[in-house]
Amino acid sequence: MKVIISLGSNKNQMENIEIAERELSCSFSAIRFSASRYTGDGYYNAVGVGETSLSYAELRTCTKNIEKRLGRTEDREVIPIDVDILQYDGHCYKPDDMMREYNIMLLKELE
């Protein structure tokens, strides 16, 4: 299944995004990531486009486990890592996030 993933961080941004990308790569037969870019308010973001044999539920569990391992809590101000499935097998799960200017720009890098 084709998947679009977004990654964001406002704490140890570059390091946490790189770790998340490495961990995500294990769940994909192929995945490419954009560069990490500063998008404002202390946040860096990146996107990944790839192919996986995991179901949506399995991939969601994987993304939530990565967030937990990198220290994500219910705190809405400090975000060590946020990993979202924007699109899975053609279905858009986060339409507002897909339309964010920085995600559009980052996805264009992968075209």
Distance CA 11, CA 51 (A): 28
pLDDT tens digits, one per residue of 29-60: 999 999 999 999 999 999 999 999 999 999 99
d(CA 51, CA 78): 30
Residue 8's pLDDT band (boundaries 50, 70, 90)? very high
pLDDT band at 20 (very low <50, low <70, confident <90, very high): very high
